[in-house]
Amino acid sequence: MAGAVKRIKLGSQGLEVSAQGLGCMGMSAFYGPPKPESDMIALIHHAINSGITLLDTSDIYGPHTNEILLGKALKGGMRERVELATKFGISFADGKREIRGDPAYVRAACEASLKRLDIDCIDLYYQHRIDTRVPIEVTIGELKKLVEEGKIKYIGLSEASASTIRRAHAVHPITAVQLEWSLWSRDVEAEIVPTCRELGIGIVAYSPLGRGFFSSGPKLVESFSKEDFRQYLPRFQAENLEHNKKLFERVNEIATRKGCTPSQLALAWVHHQGDDVCPIPGTTKVENCNQNIKALSVKLTLEEMVELESIASADAVKGDRYGGKASTYEDSETPPVNSNKEMVGTVKRIKLGSQGLEVSAQGLGCMAMSCLYGPPEPEPDMIALIHHAINSGITLLDTSDIYGPYTNEILVGKALKGGMRERVELATKFGISFADGGKIRGDPAYVRACCEASVKRLDIDCIDLYYQHRVDTKIPIEVTIGELKKLVEEGKIKYIGLSEACAATIRRAHAVHPITAVQLEWSLWSRDVEAEICMPKFQAENLEHNKKLFESVNEIAMRKGCTPAQLALAWVHHQGDDVCPIPGTTKIEQLNENIQALSVKLAPEEMAELDSIALADAVKGDRYPDGV
């Protein structure tokens, strides 16, 4: 009766679905009048019993009636056998259609869908269309809360651009992106599909049969009722249909050779795009459902795939996918997250040094993503975190060849693909040789080799800010800086920095070539650098004493209405506009809190109070163990 329906993983968060789903929209709306409820429930049951378990609906289908239909169909033990996907985002009230993604609407829509579907939890909840007035981070932030509350399991997006997908994925993992993908809608292959695959996001292809075009070709328009919205789509207009029928005829020829229907061939082509793709053809007939399932058994050779793609090139189809002002991924960009004060503070720009380098007033230390503070964090999560930081206005990224070693630079390099490189100031470091057992080196040959290796790992042409991580006391600093100066002249680095260098060394280095930045440990419990330059602390014998400093800082933070971490970071920001702290984190929530520290304003009296409790004797223990 129907072919076997295999199971596939959708996304990277554990969702498993049937390799083909069932689009339920046409049962209730848009493709003609609603179909008899009893027939549609029987069709849904038939699909489930045939192995089709991913059911797709939306609150706008009807509106509302399609969800109610699904809720009825899933009684009697059927709910436990399916993965149920629904959507929000298109509001239809008082005859007015509006795209909405504000938190209050997201929550209300979810709770209303749960009630109509008569279930406790939605398996996959999509944002149907993107609200371009609301930062995507705000919308996803509310969806994340719904996941934490157990009202939804997985988050999806529909008709979202590559950059919007990246920004959303940085807040909470996106499990699936729904997009129109078929032999006559292939534009998503340029950016969106590669982005999904890079981030480990599943792909759900809607209208894989070209809204029914590949079932009967141009004759399809003869069956349109007055309620069928397809009659208004550009591709079905007479001036385009004559051209488009050529594509159907070519597909039909190949299908005849293969011994299948043109719709099965078109559907098989989508299935052959990969095991991360799940098409969801819609139907209102059991016979068509069976035909669609049989498409899973149609095997296409590489030559046949090439032939199909050659006849389904961009100029093979005339007419846009939608008409009028329909919302698609092409107009799904949202305002930057830092335009919404609920999320993060504004990240201003500052001048770093006197050579023209401009950076965000706060950077991102990337070390802990790969090493030293525990095991390496999952790469997709860290790439998403870096993207979130960049989209939030944090553009100074800090890494080093010793972090990993090497793996942190490789991670940052991957994160800067897809246009991200041009949006950041990238700093890395050399000077601690892992191959030599952690030996400090600053000889010219080593400096050059390190730079070239970092450029290769980061997959870039030029490093914005290149620090000597630790100073080699065996080599005159003038010799090391002399080699760095050559690298500047060769265009391999833009600016030179030093890390953990004394005042005299900084002066000597600066005499050879301008030093743009000095990296140093500076905080309320590491203030020794104030005297000249402008882990033992965690041992039990010191920690009991050091906790008094935290308690005092915490008291002031409570008065200010911020966290102690934000207060400590604000204190550093208040040292001057020539200071850029680079707090490290592996969590988006902490990143957002760190950015909010930029909004914490400290009066001179509060700075004096903090300075007084953070005196030299307020902290016990050296900054590093012996030998460092």
Residues annotated catalytic, as ranges: 61
User: What's the burial of 612, exposed, middle or buried (CB within 10 Å: 0-12/13-18/19+)?
Assistant: exposed
Q: Are 202 and 228 in contact (CB under 8 A)?
A: no
Residue 185: its pLDDT value, please? 94
Residue 529: its pLDDT value, please? 59
* 562 contacts: CB under 8 Å, gap ≥ 6: 570, 596, 597, 600
User: What's the burial of 237, exposed, middle or buried (CB within 10 Å: 0-12/13-18/19+)?
Assistant: middle
Mean pLDDT of each 10-residue bin along the chain, 628 residues long: 77 97 95 95 98 98 96 97 97 82 91 97 97 91 94 97 94 96 94 95 97 90 88 90 92 97 98 98 96 97 96 86 83 73 62 95 96 92 90 94 96 92 96 88 97 98 97 97 98 97 96 96 70 52 70 90 92 94 91 91 94 69 54
Smallest CA-to-CA distance from 496 within 473, 512, 475, 476 is with 512
Q: Around Cβ 540, how many Cβ atoms within 10 Å? A: 6
All domains of the chain, ordered by start, with CATH?
7-331 (3.20.20.100), 337-618 (3.20.20.100)
* 509 contacts: CB under 8 Å, gap ≥ 6: 477, 478, 480, 481, 496, 498, 501, 515
Count Cα atoms within 13 angstroms, Cβ side, for 429: 30
pTM score, two decimals? 0.59
| C-alpha–C-alpha distance, residues 563 and 92, integer Å | 41
What is the phi/psi pair of residue 203, to 5°?
A: -120, 125
Q: Around Cβ 75, how many Cβ atoms within 10 Å? A: 10
Question: Coil, helix or strand for 108?
Answer: helix
Q: Are 317 and 244 in contact (CB under 8 A)?
A: yes
Residue 523: its pLDDT value, please? 76
Q: Which amino acid belongs to residue 318? A: K
